[in-house]
Structure 1
Amino acid sequence: MPVTLNAHQFARLIDRTADHIGDATLPVLNGVRVEADAEHLYAVATDRYTLAAARYRHHGLDGEAFARTIPARALPALRRWLTDQPGSAPVTLTHADGKLRFTAEAGEMTLTTDDAQDYIGWRGLLRDILAATTDRPKGDADGDQEDLPVLDARLLTRFTTAGTYLRIRTGPGPALLVGEDFLGAQSPVRSRHEGFGAGTDDTLGGVRALWKTGLTDPDGHAAVPMPTPRHRDAPGTSAEAAEAFLRQTMVSTHDLVEEIDSPRAVAAHAAAGASAWAAYRYLDALHRADPLLAAQVIAEVADELDDGALGEFAWDAAAKAGFDPQKWQDELDRAATTAGEPAAEAPAAPETDS
């Protein structure tokens, strides 16, 4: 049955899972599985060693849930087709007679699928990993006898597309990786010969004994240098920025009522609250359309706020956008003169090559 999602999110589901596709020797795993339920569209891929499941809340499912596998050979062409669509353009996925059809306003693309084999029970696998515990032997408070899982770092690199930050939990079975709308798993290395070698103790106590002398420093150690603190407490992530904007909206709305006897304060609180709410709405829309771009913009803005030269940044941006920042400055100067206040110093105009 048809399910609709915007083009960017379709592409992102593929990007977050494609690195985990199994090779052609296992046809059932040689592709990205797409499954839709009443709320989400899922993309799943596994090569038996790693497993990735990403999801996004769709714009609507017309009918019953469905599941189909997009073959690996078709993914490059589909990825290019999705890139050619505007990121916010709705794309509808339908399936019938062994075919998947992607339809957008600018055109459509049809792929042939081979679903003769049932896909693996990925939900059950991840559910079991989520339920696993890391119980230690009795009397082993420090976990000295606990076996340390051995992970292949080459496989870990496949999770770089899952998100900037991932939570990781290791246990007796596969390692669990959790991101926003993302679950991943990686199987530990099965043989000591595949890991650090037969002569290495894989228990925590063995590692402590091996490094006891090398990590002993009788003279103490210098503190780890901390990064230079920012001049301003600027949010560094989309979640922090959203919290800051919403909090500022509420604070300004509250102070707006408290300052009813001061027209200038009322105007300032009203402007601050409106700006904070608009910033949150813009950020929320950007995060939904492109989370990676939202994270990049937040980081850049944090650096700009730390620099503090916002007037100069605004001047440059206004000139680049085709506005006249000098006209705005002249208006501010005239208003200040009329009010009997000294005119504000204009930001330095950007230098140009002669």
Structure 2
Amino acid sequence: MSVTINAHQLGRLIDKVRGHIGSEYVEVLHGIRLDVDATHLHAVASDRYTVAAARYRLNGDQQGQEPWARTIPADWLKPLREWTSAHGGGDTITISVVPGRVIFGTEHTDIRIPVADDQEFPNWRSLLTGITANIPTKFAFPAVDSRMLARWADTGDTLRVHVTTDLTAMLLFGEDFIGAQMPKRYNGVSPSGESTFEEALAQWPTLDDNNEALADLAAEMPAGDDEMGTIPEMVSSLLQQTLRSTSDLLGAPTDDPGATASYALAGVNAWTAYRLLDALHKADPRLAAQTVAELGDELEAGDFSENAWDIAAKAGHDPQAWSDDYEAHLKRLAAKRATEQAAA
């Protein structure tokens, strides 16, 4: 199984989607999916919140082949991109698949990338079909300059977007922000230079259009801890934990000091985390958002206990002594309870 593409077009495919690669903590999304069907070579990436697919139309003698797909791990993308750039833009690159490898080769050199042949990936065709299914086909489909979209990143806000008609400005709203972006006259899919959604969608006949494909993005993506995904969600979670701990503390059995202490500690920790997050958000909203996103990934990975041990050791503490002291504390509590029960 193989396809050919020139070096310039392969570089463009990688560049168009690499910004959407998922976290290292979600292995199935940590790379770029090469997906070949009867007519196109696709490069696809997703971070669970965005999905991006770029395509290259295969030459006539390559069309009609059996579909195949492999995920190029993220760690290999930099060397692959550098290798691609080292060739002339018009140089032909053959992409072939053998067990456990995807081989990118030219007449004189190649790069062999190890892959998992059975690596799964979300059904991106179904996801995009699900999103497009309920859009009126005659809906005006204005074009925007993608380079200008990057300008809104510095707002640090979650933005709402409202598109009106084809040649009027797109409005963007944030919590403390409002803006507008003018459309760019489109000259891609229809002879008139204007486009409806129906005309644009017709250019992607390879999208899965069966009823089973009406998938929801959030439902179809690998599971993650979305409660920690944004600052408002984390604030809500911490305040709920504080209130629940208070309620549990009030209802705790009076003869179980361990439970009382646990509920009190959980409430104190949740309230402390909330106050620190609130202060960080006021001082540096962008750093706060980045920290919360990284925290969500760490919690999803589940290895934060091991990381805490290593961090404590590097900071000059003795986590083993902490562990030993805590074990001794638990033994003293158990001995005390046993003495009290014997005396009763």
TM-score of the two chains, using structure 2 as the length reference:
0.49
TM-score of the two chains, using structure 1 as the length reference:
0.48
More helix by share: 2
